[in-house]
Amino acid sequence: MSTAPALVTPTPWETLRRFTDARIALGRAGHSLPTAAHLEFQLAHAQARDAVHLPFDAVGVAAGLARIGLPALQLQSAAEDRTTYLQRPDLGRRLSASSLQALAGLDLQAGRRAAYDLSVVVADGLSALAVHQNAVPLLSALRARLESDPGAPWSLAPVALVAQGRVAVGDEVGQALGARAVLVLIGERPGLSSPDSMGLYLSWSPRVGLTDAQRNCISNVRPAGLSAEAAAEKLHHLLCRARAIGFTGVGLKDESALEAAHQKENAAPRLGTKIWRQA
């Protein structure tokens, strides 16, 4: 009795799929993708599009921040709606006039310009889903490290929630608040396997006009990528180094893994050395 040929021809490196979410070793059906792989691709594409257009739930994020003891204020970029934001990246990099007035009013309420060490900005970017899911866990983990920092304590500005914001909008927020550093949490451009990826951008001495070369970036913060705890550890290392040397960007390297390895090596018990002699 003859057996019917398999509908899907597998690839010889299919076992590698367990190491990555990338679309590799999908096999083929005739000259085309298998139906299941084609449908999975269409679903991923739809999820990426939905992430780009999902409205920013600033109220929900503010409520999550309140639960961990962080006050927040809601701001808006100069891009008044999503269509404008996508067509005019420059407007997403600046605050609206009303948001600038709100920041100025914050100083007036304090009675003086507060000397903040760190201003945190949460912006929807190209995936509000990413900050909805990851911003509060990341800031909770980071705050725990800042509070236990053996160096000088960190004074935090109220968290700025910026709708229709891009990375550079953080520089204007930090400058307006007179902060020594600004940290921007923003939804990254969705990939076809990562619609929920959040990026972290750190700038020392924030001011309008900084370039990407003057920032440090930690990307792919999400449960299936870099965890909130691991990202907070890297971020805390960069913050401490930036405060020590007074700048961020290309001159500031993430050496947290090397330092951890060095500390582990120093903590390991020293074993005696045997010298073997040839008879």
Strands 72-76 and 159-163: parallel
Instruction: Give, for all 279 residues of the chain, the pLDDT tens digit.
Output: 455 556 888 888 888 888 887 888 888 888 888 888 889 989 999 999 999 999 999 999 999 999 999 999 999 999 999 999 999 999 999 999 999 999 988 765 554 455 799 999 999 999 999 999 999 999 999 999 998 887 778 999 999 999 999 999 999 999 999 999 999 999 999 988 889 999 999 999 999 999 999 999 999 999 999 999 999 999 999 999 999 999 999 999 887 666 655 555 665 554 443 333 343
User: Count of domains in the chain?
Assistant: 1
Any domain includes 264 = no
Instruction: Using alpha carbons, select from 82, 84, 74 the residue that is nearest to residue 53.
Output: 82
Phi-psi region for residue 207, left (φ > 0), alpha (ψ -120 to 50) or beta? beta
| 243 in any annotated domain | yes
Q: Does a structural domain hold residue 18?
A: no
Contact between 199 and 124 under an 8 Å Cβ cutoff? The reply is no
pTM, two decimals, is 0.84
**For the domain that residue 167 is a member of, what is the CATH number?**
3.40.50.11240
CA distance 220 to 214: 20
Q: Is residue 276, in this structure, part of any structural domain at all?
A: no
Flag whether 42 is in a domain.
no
95 occurs within a structural domain: yes
* Domain-embedded: residue 41: no
Long-range CB pairs of 84-93, under 8 A, 24+ apart, other chains included: 84/164, 85/164, 86/52, 89/166, 91/164, 92/164, 92/165, 92/166, 92/169, 93/166, 93/167, 93/168, 93/169, 93/172
73: enclosing H helix or E strand: strand 72-76
Tell whether 40 is covered by a domain: no
Boundaries of domain holding 230: 53-252
